[in-house]
Structure 1
């Protein structure tokens, strides 16, 4: 009988107790936060409705009637008419006279001056260049080139003549003196002076060594 009664009751679940504890803690933490959030939203809603919105509308009305409307009126009735008047004055007192001056005075005078300069300066200079300066320049250039070539030939001929004169006046006598005089004298000096002097020097050195050994001794 006791066995049937026990089987009819729900089984014990540990997870159900943990869920209940977690829900209780969450309820304790969340309920105050939700109350504060709802109170803050309510206060902000009524603050916007009864304070901020009327203040914004009042500020908008003041900005429109104290700043925008006066600025619009100033632009339409003062700035634009003054600008149009100034532009009319600039156009009729400056631009139109300058345009008329350019079209009827400056441009015709410039054209006349250019025509005179072309007739009296550019055209004569061009004619002189084509018919005088250019032909004369070509002739002078050709003459200078021809003279330069002739001068080069003369310079080479003079150089060869000077070299020939110097060879016969200086080089050939020096070569003859070296071959006929200096070379035999050198051979004679080497044979009859150099060799005896060298032999005498060797004999003096040998005698000096013998005297040194005799007086001070030395290695055998």
Structure 2
């Protein structure tokens, strides 16, 4: 139904469209065929480049990043974090904690008991009574005087302008509005209607005629010719590509595939198993050794700091002697804990069966 309606409402083709259709299509076909063939060649080259070069490079970059760059980056980040922690602690010790102590134990007590308390007393004993006196003077004397001056200024300066606006300017404005609505507006509408009619007859109608009868048919024919030429060029390009595919594969693709399978793959496996794997294991061992050295260095620094703290606070810094654990010795009735002297050996076990 929609197709029938479109066919019924379709405008009839003019002689100009029928006359220019075939020449336009021939010219467009000649111009579009090279462009379409170049486009198809570029598409094929881009796909081959992506499959042969870009994807292997991307996988190699990802593997290099996961096995080499990421561990190195994590180590550098850990070192940077440790250095930042030390620098932060040093900055706090030099710049933060002394100023906090100065503010808390010097500036704040001086400001509280040396400035705030005297000012409060001055405010309560001197400024508050003075303020109440000034408020009484303002309420009893200045307020009535200000009201009288304000009424005088209103009568002299403001009231004449209000009277002029109400009794002179307002009636004049109403008269001008009536004159505009009843005389000037109809005349302006008539002039605008005449100008619009002349512009429509002299400009709009010729432009619409030229667009509908000349430009629109020519544009539709050019668009249809471009679409037809693009499709025909695509078919021709595919036919040429199929004709060139077999010699290109036998001259380039097959030798390249043989070289990749028989040369590049064994060399890559040898490099991975004989060179890359030992180097990675050596790097891992070096990393573990570096982490162990850093851990021992941290433990040494921690012990030195603990010893220095004990020396500062007055401790001896010597570890407490640990008493030896009691030796479990057998008795006639079972086993029990018998405290022994350090260095003494436990007594022999006594059996009733052997004594008898």
- Shorter chain as denominator, the TM-score bin is 0.3 to 0.5
Q: Which has the larger radius of gyration?
A: 1
TM-score of the aligned structures, taking structure 2 as reference length: 0.27
TM-score normalised per structure 1: 0.42
Higher relative contact order by CA 8 Å / sep ≥ 6: 1 or 2? 2
